[in-house]
Structure 1
């Protein structure tokens, strides 16, 4: 099994702990994204897999063997760096094939791999150019081609698209997925860009301050966040999170309240906590000018143009929350009413910051909906 497994892995620089007790497995042949803010330990984790950083304690397994002391060159990894790391004096062909020549891969096989990579990454016609004569996007594709031709079992990418413009990033993401679908290497991809994480990853490992916060599919990371950090980090605009009080089946916002559905009442009471943080994504918060059942009264602070919608910032009992609207006509100071979509709320334990969980009925509803859509 060409999986990667962390068992209580720590990394420290002196007294500074950068990675703290990682315990998780990267499945053979999957695309796993290491996501998190700057300084969270994601690049250090990738470099430990590559053998470029020593492990302070714990054990790292690759292909069912401990590799803590195995040199980088013997780990069967191909790595793409953020700064490309191309040889400036070598042309495109030599940059791509240098590693194969060192490994003494037969010339005919080298040629076949080179031709396939040039075609796949649209580098035909650039074979004799030096890196200085290439654009940023072309250099990035050369770096990717160099990794692809190695046909390594492990493909490690450290923010490989961060230097590209927005349009190139979109096309490059597609190429990466195509490469993986063709070769099915175990891919570990580091980024701080949540859009890249959601579009490229089969699973996301979200990190913060050296600790793993959540490991799951992009869908679950978005719709079923494990804790407050995950809820706020994933999504733009971020999830609204407000500390509230639970009382007799109701969520209390100061002197306002709304009634929870029975499935949520059961979930809260099973958690045995009254100090709760209420979370709702802006797209799941309906904003109106008239009151309705289970609405909360607030005041418009300002409106932000989001491109395809408008973010309406509302003062709700001293808390600022944002709702998305198709209309920009929400005057500052106007009284509005917010209504959460009850199937899309998130409730967290204020003491642990962890989710109190999600009602089983939600999963049953989603499964039924999937079956209806497939039938249609």
Structure 2
């Protein structure tokens, strides 16, 4: 079993703690995405797995073996770097097969693996070219092919698509998933791009300031965020999160009120007559020009054309809310009415910033825990 397990792993550079007590497992054969903003510790975490960074505290296990002191070359990992790291004086074929040749693999086996990789990644006619004669997308595929031919049980990728244009990234994402489905390696993929995270990952480990914020499926990270950071980092435009008051089964936004129903009221019983953080994603706000029960009034500030839809910024009191509309049926300064999707509310504790839970958890627990599996 090629599981990777962190036990209270820390990484410091002098007095600066970059990774703070990671304590979770990456399952055998899954695609785990390390996601987060720049400087959050995701690349450092990947490099600790690869053996390129030492561990300050804690233990790291790979395949049930502690590897804190195991050199990188003995961990049997294949890694793809952000800058591709191709040898400029070697041809595509030489770059791809270099590691196999240093391992004294037989010529027949090298040729077989090379042929499979060239065919898989569409590089058949490029094997005699030098890296300088390739496009950025082709260099990226050569770097992937070099990792694929090793057939290592661990496949580590550090933002490998960040230098590609949007169309190439979309194609490369599909290739990565296809490669993984064929070889079933334990794959750890670092990115700050949430689209890559949502489309590639079986699970997402979201980091911020070296701390694991949430570990769960893309669906749960998006629809059931563990805290405000997760809620606002995932999604574009970001989730609306504002202070409201919960009073007698109703939410007070500015000087306006609307009911939230018995299930949500029960969930918020500890916040009665208190402030709570209320979140709703822009796509879960319906805009109308007509007043109706359950809607609150605002004024349009500005409108952004996103192509397939429009982002409408609405002022309610001192707070601005963002709603998505499929058509440009509104104008700046117009009075509009907002209706929030009942099934897609989010509430967070003002002090801890953690979710207070969802109605589906009421019969199990009044809180949703951070999903970290050890």
Q: What's the TM-score once normalised by structure 2's chain length?
A: 0.95
Residue 227 (1) aligns with residue 236 (2): no
Residues 1:119 and 1:272: Cα distance change in structure 2 (over 3 Å) = farther
1:252-288 superposed Cα distances (whole Å, 9 cap, x missing partner)? 1121111112111111116789331000000000011
Residue 36 (1) aligns with residue 71 (2): no
Question: What is residue 79 of structure 2 aligned with on the other side?
Answer: 79
Report the 3-state secondary structure (helix = DSSP H, G, I; strand = E; otherwise coil) of the residue aligned with 2:290: coil
Superposition pairs of residues 56-71 of structure 1, within 5 angstroms: 56-71=56-71
Q: Using the TM superposition, give the Cα deviation of residue 209 of structure 1 relative to its aligned residue in structure 2, in angstroms.
A: 0.7
Q: Report the Cα distance in structure 2 between the residues aligned to 1:53 and 1:315, rounded to whole angstroms.
A: 48
Q: Report the Cα distance in structure 2 between the residues aligned to 1:111 and 1:165, rounded to whole angstroms.
A: 32
Q: Report the Cα distance in structure 2 between the residues aligned to 1:361 and 1:145, rounded to whole angstroms.
A: 45
Residue 307 (1) aligns with residue 311 (2): no
1:21-67 superposed Cα distances (whole Å, 9 cap, x missing partner)? 11110000000000000000000000000000011101111111111
Q: Check the 8 A contact 2:279/2:345 in 1, yes or no.
A: yes
Q: Report the Cα distance in structure 2 between the residues aligned to 1:115 and 1:204, rounded to whole angstroms.
A: 33
Q: Using the TM superposition, give the Cα deviation of residue 327 of structure 1 relative to its aligned residue in structure 2, in angstroms.
A: 2.0
Range with greater deviation from structure 2 (55-64 or 251-260):
251-260
Q: Report the Cα distance in structure 1 between the residues aligned to 2:109 and 2:243, rounded to whole angstroms.
A: 62
Q: Report the Cα distance in structure 2 between the residues aligned to 1:253 and 1:271, rounded to whole angstroms.
A: 15
Report the 3-state secondary structure (helix = DSSP H, G, I; strand = E; otherwise coil) of the residue aligned with 2:338: strand
Q: Report the Cα distance in structure 2 between the residues aligned to 1:350 and 1:291, rounded to whole angstroms.
A: 30
Q: Report the Cα distance in structure 1 between the residues aligned to 2:303 and 2:181, rounded to whole angstroms.
A: 42
Q: Report the Cα distance in structure 1 between the residues aligned to 2:273 and 2:87, rounded to whole angstroms.
A: 59
Report the 3-state secondary structure (helix = DSSP H, G, I; strand = E; otherwise coil) of the residue aligned with 1:287: strand
Superposition pairs of residues 89-238 of structure 1, within 5 angstroms: 89-238=89-238
Q: Check the 8 A contact 1:343/1:362 in 2, yes or no.
A: no
Q: Using the TM superposition, give the Cα deviation of residue 361 of structure 1 relative to its aligned residue in structure 2, in angstroms.
A: 7.4
Question: What is residue 332 of structure 1 aligned with on the other side?
Answer: 332
Q: Report the Cα distance in structure 2 between the residues aligned to 1:272 and 1:294, rounded to whole angstroms.
A: 19
Q: Using the TM superposition, give the Cα deviation of residue 246 of structure 1 relative to its aligned residue in structure 2, in angstroms.
A: 1.0
Q: Check the 8 A contact 1:2/1:62 in 2, yes or no.
A: yes
Q: Report the Cα distance in structure 2 between the residues aligned to 1:76 and 1:99, rounded to whole angstroms.
A: 11
1:336-372 superposed Cα distances (whole Å, 9 cap, x missing partner)? 1100001001000010000001111799xxxxxxxxx
Residues 1:138 and 1:329: Cα distance change in structure 2 (over 3 Å) = same
Residue 13 (1) aligns with residue 16 (2): no
Q: Report the Cα distance in structure 2 between the residues aligned to 1:72 and 1:173, rounded to whole angstroms.
A: 27
Question: What is residue 367 of structure 1 aligned with on the other side?
Answer: none
Question: What is residue 254 of structure 1 aligned with on the other side?
Answer: 254
Report the 3-state secondary structure (helix = DSSP H, G, I; strand = E; otherwise coil) of the residue aligned with 1:332: coil
Q: What are structure 1's unaligned runs of at least 5 residues?
A: 364-376
Report the 3-state secondary structure (helix = DSSP H, G, I; strand = E; otherwise coil) of the residue aligned with 1:87: coil
Aligned residues: 364
What is the RMSD of the two structures over their aligned residues, measured on CA atoms?
Answer: 1.5
Q: Check the 8 A contact 1:273/1:349 in 2, yes or no.
A: no
Q: Using the TM superposition, give the Cα deviation of residue 234 of structure 1 relative to its aligned residue in structure 2, in angstroms.
A: 0.4
Report the 3-state secondary structure (helix = DSSP H, G, I; strand = E; otherwise coil) of the residue aligned with 2:327: coil
Q: Using the TM superposition, give the Cα deviation of residue 326 of structure 1 relative to its aligned residue in structure 2, in angstroms.
A: 1.7
Report the 3-state secondary structure (helix = DSSP H, G, I; strand = E; otherwise coil) of the residue aligned with 2:179: helix
Q: Report the Cα distance in structure 1 between the residues aligned to 2:75 and 2:261, rounded to whole angstroms.
A: 52
Q: Check the 8 A contact 2:264/2:359 in 1, yes or no.
A: yes
Q: Check the 8 A contact 2:247/2:273 in 1, yes or no.
A: no
Question: What is residue 351 of structure 1 aligned with on the other side?
Answer: 351
